[in-house]
Amino acid sequence: MPHIDRNKNLLPNAKRLRREMTRHERHLWYDFLKDHSAHIYKQRIIGNYIADFYCPSAHLVIELDGNQHYTAEGLELDADRTEIIEQYDIHVMRIHNDDIDRDFEHVCQQINTAIKNAIQN
């Protein structure tokens, strides 16, 4: 696995984002990820980006996407970001905020399966 560069200049912003999580991030963090058996970080710096959640043992980033991510500009930025993160041998899982609202249990199952499959391989 390649060494993960971390832009230390992003640390103040990452700390702020940890304190000011969105409603969907808080729900996923406090109601599932925080107590997961695999260690998961919130608002983790990877390269020049701050990932919503990162599970190092599974080489997995979990990104929660609101509607702004589905504009032409948002899709392009996310594609660039995903490509760069994947250069570190990290898979990016994108979850729409609406899925958190509509079927939280299914989202948790998908994340759990991704983590377990990655750790087993």
pLDDT digits (tens, 9 = 90+) for 30-50: 999 999 999 999 999 999 999
CA distance 68 to 38: 30
What is the set of domains in the chain, with CATH numbers?
8-120 (3.40.960.10)
pLDDT digits 0-9 by tens, 65-111? 875 645 667 667 878 889 989 999 999 999 999 999 999 999 999 99
pTM: 0.89
Please answer whether residues 84 and 51 qualify as being in contact, where contact means their C-beta atoms are separated by less than 8 angstroms.
no
Tokens, residue 115: 């983590």
Q: Alpha carbon 3 to chain centroid distance?
A: 18
Query: Tokens 């599970």 — which residue?
Result: 55
What's the confidence (pLDDT) of residue 19? 96
Q: Alpha carbon 114 to chain centroid distance?
A: 12
What's the confidence (pLDDT) of residue 17? 95
Alpha-carbon distances, residue 97 vs 50, 65, 88, 100 (angstroms):
18, 6, 26, 5
CA distance 2 to 12: 25
CA distance 11 to 27: 23
